[in-house]
Structure 1
C-alpha cells in the first residue's frame, strides 16, 4: 500500500502531466462564515508539499468575519501572536479550475489529521463527529441539495437584477417551476454541472425552483460525510465562477427577495451499521423516532449554524416550505425534519432548515449530533405534522437570541466541542453587531 505522501505525490504529478498549462494551484479551506481562504502556490512548490514539506497558514484565518475582518475572540487574534498552524492536503481534491481567465488548479487543505488540529475549524469539527460515530459502529450516508438564484451580472445601485432570459432577453421575473426554464438557461446550467463533475462532484438532479431565476442542484449519496460536505462547499465556489463567465451572478444568499422563496440547504442522512443494515429502520423504525426527537431537541440551539447571518433569519416563515417551528413529518415539506417515502434499506431523514449559505461542514455536524443524541436518549418525538398541523417547538428567530441558546447547551458543547461553540458564538455575535453599525436610507426615511 502506498504511503500517504506517496499517494499525494502521485496525484500532483499526474495532475501536472494532464494539465501542463497550469502553473499555480489555489490551496483553499472554508472558514467559519463559509468563505474560502488560502494561498496560491506554484505547482512545483505543491509537489514539495505533497512530498512532506510543511504547509502552514495563520490559525486565525479560520476566525474571519463575514466581511473578512478579525474579531477579538478570547485570546485569539489580538493576544496570541497570530500563530501559524499546520495544514495538510486533502487527497483526491486537486482539480483544474476552468472559470478563471488563466489556467489554474485548486486543492482543499485542512488541519484535520495534523498533529494539532484547529478545534474550531469547520472541517475538523465534522471530522471529530464522524470519527466518534464510526467508533460507535454508526456509518452515515449523506447527500446535499442546494438552492441558489441567478441574477444579472450587474447590480442596480447595489441591488440585484433579475437574470435575463437568454432566448427573449427579457428579465426572468416570473416565479415558476416550469421545466422549460431549464432549457432557456441550459447553457449556464450545463456548464455548472460539467464544471462540478470536473471537480469530482456527483451532480444528479437539476430543478427549476419557484423563485425567478432560482434553481436546485442535488448531489449523489456518499458514505464519506467529509467528502459530501466538500462537494457542497466546492460547488458553491465553482458555480459562482461559472455564472460570472456567462454574464450572471450566482448567489446562495438565503433570502434575496422578500416576496419569493428563500434558498435552502437540504441534507439527507441515513445511518448504517458495519454490516450495511439501516439503523433507523430497525425495530419497526423506533430508532428513527428517537433520532428525530434528538434532532428536534437540539435544533433550537443550532440556529446560528442553520441561519448563520441576519439575512438567513428572513427566510424563516411566511413563504413556501420554510418552517417557523421545530417540527417533523412524513413526506411533508413544511417540516424541518422530513421523512421521505422510501423502502427500509433507504430510510432517511431530510433536514430542511439550513439556509443555502450556511457552512456545510457545520450543518452536517449539527445534524449528526442531533441524531446521535436522539439514539442515546431514546425519547419519543412530538407529534408529526401529519397528525397535528400545529405540532412543533419554538426556535430563536434572531441572531443574538440564537447565540444565547447555543452557547451554554451542554449536549451541543459535548458533541461539537466547547471551544468550538464558544468561538463560533462569539464570531456570530460580533458579525451581527458589526452589521448593525451602519445607518441605512430606510432609517432616515422613518426617523429623520
Structure 2
C-alpha cells in the first residue's frame, strides 16, 4: 500500500490523472463546433507546447479572432510554427494568409514570408498541397504564374468530390490577367457555392462596388433557399455594411440566414436596423438583441448599449448605455471601447468630448481593430466640436480599409475628392507613421 502524507498523495494522484483528463484536440474541436465562443485557448496552448502542430494551427485560429495585438502576434507565430517550413500543417499557411489580409498592413508585412514559404513544398505533390496553393493564390496571386495556376485548377477539378472552388480560382485568375468580363461571370458563378467569393467579388467591382454589388446579388434572391447558408450570411452582412439608403434586400438576406440558425446574422441585422432608426422601431431591435444575448451575452449587451444611444428613439438613454459599457469593460470585453467612444462623441453624459472619444477608440486601434480606425477618421473628418483635419482623417480611414472595414470604403473615396495630391501624399506618410507607432508599442 502507498504510504505518504495525505497532501503529497493527493498531489501525486492529481499529477497522474492530469494527462488522462486533459482534453484531446478532437474533444476541443467538438466543443468549438457546439459553441464557437468556447474558452479553449488554455487547453490548446498545453497541446501546442507539446509540439502538436494541429493544435498550434487551431490555437492560431482562436487567437486570430482577438482584438489584442499580443494575441494577434502570437497567432502569426503559431501559424508559422505549425507550417514548420513545409514539414507541418500546410493549411496553416492559408490561415495566416487570410488573417494577414484582415490586419492593417498585414498583407504587405507577410509577403516576404510567403514568397519563401511557397518554395518549401511542391504545389502539385498531393490534393492538400494543390488546394493550399490555390487558396494562397487568392491572397497572393503575384506569387504564381498563370500557367501554374491553370495546372493547379485542373488537378483540383479532377480530385475534388464535393467542395469544389474552381469557379472562384478561375475568377481570380481571369482578374489577374485583366479579363474582367470573364472574371465577373465566374465570380457570380462562385457566389452560388463559396462564401469566400462574396468579398472577393465586392473587391473586384472596384470604385463602383457599393452600387454594383447590391444590383448583382439581387439576381440571386430567387435562389436564396438553395444557396449555402454561409453564402447567404456573407452577402447579407456585406450589404448591411454598405452606407446607402434603406435597402429591403438586406433584410431578405439576413432573415433567411437567421431562419437557418446563423447567429451572426442577428448581430448584423440589429446593427443595420440601428443605422436606419426612421425605418425600424426600438422595440423590434431590443427584441432581436434579447435573442442575441441568449448565445452571445457580451456582444448582445454591447448592442444594447448602442441601442440606448440611437437618436430618434424614445428609448434613448445614455446613462443606461454607460452603465452597460462600464460593466463590459470591467469584464474585459474590449470592444466596449467602441461604445464608450460613441458615448463621448455624442455628448451623452455631458458635453461632446471628442478627445475622450478618440482616446477610447485608440485603445482598440492599438490592437489593430479596423472599425476603431474608421471611427477616428470620421471624427477628424467631420466630428462636432473638434478641429477637422482631412489629412489625418484619410490616414486613419486608409488603415481601416486596408484592415477590411467595408463601411470605410465609401468614406475614403469621399475624402480623396476633398484633398489635393500633396495632401494625399501626406496622408499616406501619416498612415505609415501611425502603423509604425503601433508596431513599436507592441
Shorter-chain TM-score tier = under 0.3
- Greater share of helix: 2
Normalised by the length of structure 1, the TM-score is 0.27
Normalised by the length of structure 2, the TM-score is 0.27
Which has more radius of gyration?
A: 2
- Greater share of strand: 1
